[in-house]
Each structure stands twice: as C-alpha cells, then as structure tokens.
C-alpha cells in the first residue's frame, strides 16, 4: 500500500521564481493537509482540505501561497513569487475522516531552498 507521495523531494530556486509542490494522498483518504516545518516554528498547518474542498487556510502565510486539490488523488501547493524566508521542509499528510482515528499519515516532504 503506497503511502503519501510528494514531489519533488528537493527544490532549489532563486528568489522571485514560482515553486509548485505536489502531493498524492493515500488512496481512500479524504482529508489532506499541507504543513511547513522550520527550526523556529516547528510543524505548522498551512491548509486543510476535506473531500477536495479547502476547509481551513488560516495557516497560509500570505497571498503568495496558494493550494489546490482538483481531485481526490492530487494536490498542489504553489508559492509565487518565492522568497528566501520560504525555505523550509513542506509536508503533505492525509487521513480518512470517518472510521479512523485522528492519525494523519505524512509524506516524505519537500525540502525547499530559496536563494
């Protein structure tokens, strides 16, 4: 059973460029989460989708960040334009809303470096 898949695993870009991170949740999971991990702030929830609909985007830092979930098996997190302070590890996680616990299953993360 495949886990959460994220791509790319590493991304190095220059300030001002657009960055797109991709996530494929676990099949059958109807909730999807994007997190950002930094040394200063730890793991922070950026946005939560349920049944492909954004439910809570209060963690999205600013308008430069956007996320979409066009279908149940794919989501993107876009940063445009990127800035050096966006450098972090970005995780995608998924879970089954009903019939399961509160456990979320995380992907391996994308390490983003903005120069």
Partner 1 sequence: DQQVKQNSPSLSVQEGRISILNCDYTNSMFDYFLWYKKYPAEGPTFLISISSIKDKNEDGRFTVFLNKSAKHLSLHIVPSQPGDSAVYFCAATPAGAGSYQLTFGKGTKLSVIP
List interacting residues with partner 1 (CB under 8 A): 4, 31, 33, 42-43, 45, 48, 50, 55-56, 91, 93, 97-98, 101-109
> Smallest distance, Å, CB 28 to partner 1?
16
User: Do the beta carbons of residue 112 and residue 19 sit within 8 Å?
Assistant: yes
SS3 content of the chain, % helix, strand, coil (to 5): 5, 55, 45
Residue nearer to partner 1 on the CB measure, 81 or 89: 89
Question: Which CB, 22 or 81, lies closer to partner 1?
Answer: 22
d(CA 44, CA 61): 10
Tell me whether residue 80 or residue 97 sits nearer to partner 1 (CB atom).
97
């Amino acid at each position: 059973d495949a886990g959460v898949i994220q791509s790319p695993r590493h991304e190095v870009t220059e300030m001002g460029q657009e960055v797109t991170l991709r996530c494929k949740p676990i099949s059958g999971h109807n909730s999807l989460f994007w997190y950002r991990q930094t040394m200063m702030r730890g793991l922070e929830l950026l946005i939560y989708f349920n049944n492909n609909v954004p439910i809570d985007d209060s963690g999205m830092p600013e308008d430069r960040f956007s996320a979409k979930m066009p279908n149940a098996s794919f989501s993107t997190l876009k940063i445009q334009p990127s800035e050096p302070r966006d450098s972090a590890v970005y995780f995608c996680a998924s879970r089954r809303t009903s019939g399961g616990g509160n456990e979320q299953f995380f992907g391996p993360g994308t390490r983003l470096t903005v120069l």
